[in-house]
A and B are shown apart, each in its own frame.
Chain A
């Protein structure tokens, strides 16, 4: 058996090695320490290895003004927006039935808001769809809210008096249109499994007539838009339908943690075809989806419409349709001039983002961001997707310019819904407002409630996010934003806002911006074409340039703004006239346009 111990030679060897090592260590240590002292004088010697999270200021610092994700405190300084509260303000909350624990995708859409002067007293009233709930496996509606404007930002609920209590519709959106051209605004309500059409009786009340009007769709409708597509001077109706959810088609989607149930994404369902109704002119409608070219067999499953806008995007004096689809290509239906359409979204570069990716598109609007008199398109998208600004290059052909205009640098945390172009600071270019809020219960950002956005247009080149401090009134507080409508509620010449939030109170924002700029406001009344003049294009001529505005159908998300058109005119600019291109094709020029005034223009009949 061999000796298991170390030999004496081994032990000596180890001890010698140890002593030598010790000597070398000490020598090296002294030498290093001396040299460092010589190099740095009295400076504290930092011998730690820089670990990545210590980098801090050693990285090239960020210029906060270029960081659009955070917003800039240096833009829109004069814009002042104040949320109104109190007993005379609208007290209304959209409900979605989430307390039932069904976790249905139905609950994620939320509700919109529509502004109308239902009693023609010159003040904008507010209509809010009420949403719904469940009775077991049955979907039930909740009452809408109609609030009459008493002036000076005071409102009173008149829902029951006006007869706008719905008959069981789980509602989402509201669209205002005078479908019978009688001078009184009617209300279309969309929702799960039906539509509602409230015909304004002209005496302050409404009669629900969807059955009589043959608007008998049983689909799940989201946004809708009025427009005279066939040029017969009666408003027709485009209705977006969403996805094929029902309790018979109600998958369970897991959340990020065990035991959590999440709301299923739209990809879990088939899309539903949209519907186009032509107005027969007698109070009834007919479904023309197939013959108009809207109903595309190979695209039905891709049609998950949430937003729709009607307007003359190619400036050929008819109204076209742009549909924002959720997670699928958006549709651009260009009107052939006779109420038939060709879908050209891909060809005209408005179907996808800048590199051909489909987005989760919800809110939509049209405006001339760069002042070239061509209407551009704007889409509010899902998180991790840039909102889309499509610049109109003429003839209804577009280019995605979110990167160029700073929109992409907002970052990817927002889920955008109601959205509108509006010149909030009256400097002559259109800014953007977006209502944000997540759709699922357990988002990765851990933020269901999100801040609304105010994007200031920087001379038609870029959009810069206006920064609000945390808690700074409505825009500094996160919400579960959905619908958004803009209109002058207090008739002081500027744009106020109404936000419809998901299972949160609606909010009225009083615009108290004060600056030296001016405004012009125009209300059109059609007589040869549809009375609401949807499809009209107006160009205000000023000494600092021309500004295009168009009367649109639909837009935003589930919502409708007031029908008057606004322009901001920068201080020092003068007006030289207004050109109106009516839907009928008639071109009218007005020379006597004044600042800070509302102009009501009747369409000439001769």
Chain B
């Protein structure tokens, strides 16, 4: 589940498209979702407003313009700053300290170092320097020194210093994957300073890593509010909402992420996930518009094919399908769609070939197996129908159980065995990376959980042997 590193808000690690994938059906009567009012109005018969797509294409000329404007802006800022400094004269120690503390929050290590050096020359400032030195040590991964300094800083009478000390100590523990220690430290930080953005960010990551998504959302939302220019919290919230089938919320979050940063490093993932969420809501027009903004890939072509088919643009759909399979002959969505189209067209021999390939490649996916069973039934291959039904039904039952438990995990934040079962189910469903994250979550909650440790080891061995 450590697919996003809250320690580095600018370059999140690449996130699996479905780290906690739940492909089961929606739970009907789910009242915990929001929906785009305008889209609802439109389809249900009031106003007409299309579901807006949220990503800015960057033309070459546009990029150049942006770069030039940015350069001019930077130079102007440098000009003003230089003139200001030259005209103004010296900074007082308190001003330097404030500057340094701001730099700690902004994670501007060089400025912290610079101001610390200056403040070391000032008598009577030693107490306040602990937090800055703690930050510098943390920055260079000298955890022992960092902790010593921060513990001293936590005793300081100034709440701002204490808050920063707790937050940095929490960050240290997070880096060491000691979530049990990290959590209270970070909670202390936000108690002293509810607007401590980095503490919220770290809490969001911590809760995400331990499968406590409701809590993760709360802190990510807070981070987003405190850092209006940062797209990453919304990106991650989108992912969480999508995994829990709150597709409308996911779309809203993805849109906001791209609004804040159209050139986010996760842009392509966001566009694809947003389109997938729109498809889940059967909103094919908005989905195709979203996909138009994504770079071509086998998956994107496959998703486009699905949308175009729904919109009765079959020649284009088939073209996209071909492009997808040309790029990756084992692309799951493309194989499933191709097999489905062949089945609908009563092209049973080809449907059989396509879906048998899909099932061989993805033996733990029940959807393509379901379609294959339909093909065998059409061909009167009763034995094969029975054989695959015997595999399909338990697989489907596991998928549904996985889906149910994902929801229950939110409501049972302390249930270790529930998380262990999620890991087992994920493993059985072929979602090995998701299984790893659940087993890791169990280990974080109960380091001595032998079954999880063993299961984790087995999966990691399998993965290491997989080319």
Contacts and interface: CB of A to CB of B under 8 A. Distances in A.
Nearest to B249: A444
Nearest to B57: A50
Given A17-B78, A60-B292, A397-B378, A69 B283 contact: yes
Given A18-B86, A22-B79, A384 B26 contact: yes
B374 interface: yes
A450 interface: yes
A572 interface: no
Interface string A242-276: 00000000000111100000111111000000000
Contacts of A47: 65, 69
A53 B46 contact: no
Contact of A256 (B27, B32, B71, B259): B32
Contact of B343 (A5, A346, A348, A399): A399
B68 A28 contact: yes
B369 to A, nearest CB: 8
Contacts of A357: 24-25
Contacts of B374: 349, 399
Contact of B122 (A4, A17, A24, A383): A4
Given A28-B75, A451-B45, A66 B377 contact: no
A30 B338 CA distance: 56
Contact of B247 (A17, A358, A384, A476): A384
A451 B44 contact: yes
Nearest to B396: A356
Nearest to A443: B31
A380 to B, nearest CB: 13
B115 interface: no
Interface in A85-133: none
Given A267-B27, A444-B33, A446-B37, A403 B378 contact: no
A382 B289 contact: no
A5 B90 CA distance: 4
A446 B93 CA distance: 56
B52 interface: yes
B52 A360 contact: no
Given A349-B377, A403-B309, A447 B44 contact: yes
Given A70-B43, A444-B34, A470-B46, A408 B282 contact: yes
B390 interface: no
B305 to A, nearest CB: 12
A354 B25 CA distance: 12
Nearest to A58: B57
A356 B259 contact: no
Given A25-B79, A62-B285, A52 B262 contact: yes
B82 A383 contact: no
Contacts of B37: 446
A327 interface: yes
Interface in A198-235: none
B432 interface: no
Contact of B56 (A52, A264, A265): A52
Nearest to B377: A397
A384 B281 contact: yes
B117 to A, nearest CB: 11
B389 A347 contact: yes
Interface stretch (B188-196, B205-213, B236-244, B310-318): B310-318
B75 A21 contact: yes
Interface residues of A, dominant DSSP: loop
B432 to A, nearest CB: 22
Contacts of B402: none
Contact of B26 (A51, A349, A385, A399): A385
Interface in B16-50: 24-35, 37, 39-40, 42-46, 48, 50
A478 B44 contact: yes
B163 interface: no
Contacts of B370: 352, 355-356
B366 interface: yes
A412 B76 contact: no
A111 to B, nearest CB: 20
Contacts of A401: 344
A75 interface: no
B79 A476 contact: no
B378 A49 contact: no
Contacts of B467: none
B45 A51 contact: no
B267 to A, nearest CB: 11
A79 interface: no
Contacts of B93: 4
Interface string B269-305: 0000000000011111100110011000000000000
Contacts of A22: 79
A14 B309 CA distance: 64
Interface residues on B, range: 35 or more
A446 B393 CA distance: 36
B89 A67 contact: no
Nearest to A326: B28
A35 B240 CA distance: 46
Contacts of A439: 29
Contacts of A360: 28-29
A445 interface: yes
A264 B259 CA distance: 36
B83 interface: yes
Given A52-B54, A447-B40, A266 B29 contact: yes
Interface string B81-121: 01101100111110000000000000000000000001001
Interface in A411-438: 411-414
A444 B79 CA distance: 51
A493 B126 CA distance: 97
Contacts of B76: 21, 25
A450 B35 CA distance: 15
B353 to A, nearest CB: 18
A441 B31 CA distance: 9
Contact of A470 (B35, B45, B283): B45
B43 A440 contact: no
Interface string A3-36: 0111000010011011001101100110010000
A14 B82 contact: yes
A478 B312 contact: no
B371 interface: yes
Interface string B225-252: 0000000000000000000000110000
A393 interface: yes
Q: Which of A11, A51, A357, A478 has the most chain B CB within a 10 Å cutoff? A: A357
B43 A21 contact: no
A462 interface: yes
A1 interface: yes
B312 A55 contact: no
Given A4-B91, A355-B336, 20 more contacts: A4-B122, A6-B85, A18-B86, A24-B75, A52-B54, A53-B54, A66-B313, A256-B33, A346-B389, A354-B340, A356-B392, A357-B25, A403-B310, A406-B312, A412-B282, A413-B43, A443-B35, A468-B45, A476-B45, A477-B45
18 contacts: A4-B93, A4-B118, A11-B86, A15-B86, A18-B80, A25-B79, A52-B53, A55-B53, A69-B282, A256-B32, A265-B30, A355-B367, A360-B28, A408-B282, A413-B43, A414-B44, A441-B31, A444-B30
Interface of A: 1-2, 4-6, 11, 14-15, 17-18, 21-22, 24-25, 28-29, 32, 47, 49-55, 58-60, 62, 66-67, 69-70, 253-256, 262-267, 326-327, 346-349, 352-360, 382-386, 393, 397, 399, 401, 403-404, 406, 408-414, 439-447, 450-451, 462, 468, 470, 476-478
List 8 A-B pairs, minimum CB-CB distance, nearest first: A265-B29, A52-B54, A18-B82, A14-B86, A444-B33, A21-B79, A5-B90, A412-B282
Interface of B: 24-35, 37, 39-40, 42-46, 48, 50, 52-57, 62, 65-66, 68-69, 71-72, 75-76, 78-80, 82-83, 85-86, 89-93, 118, 121-123, 247-248, 255, 258-259, 262, 280-285, 288-289, 292-293, 309-313, 336, 340, 343-344, 366-367, 370-371, 374, 377-378, 385, 389, 392-393, 396
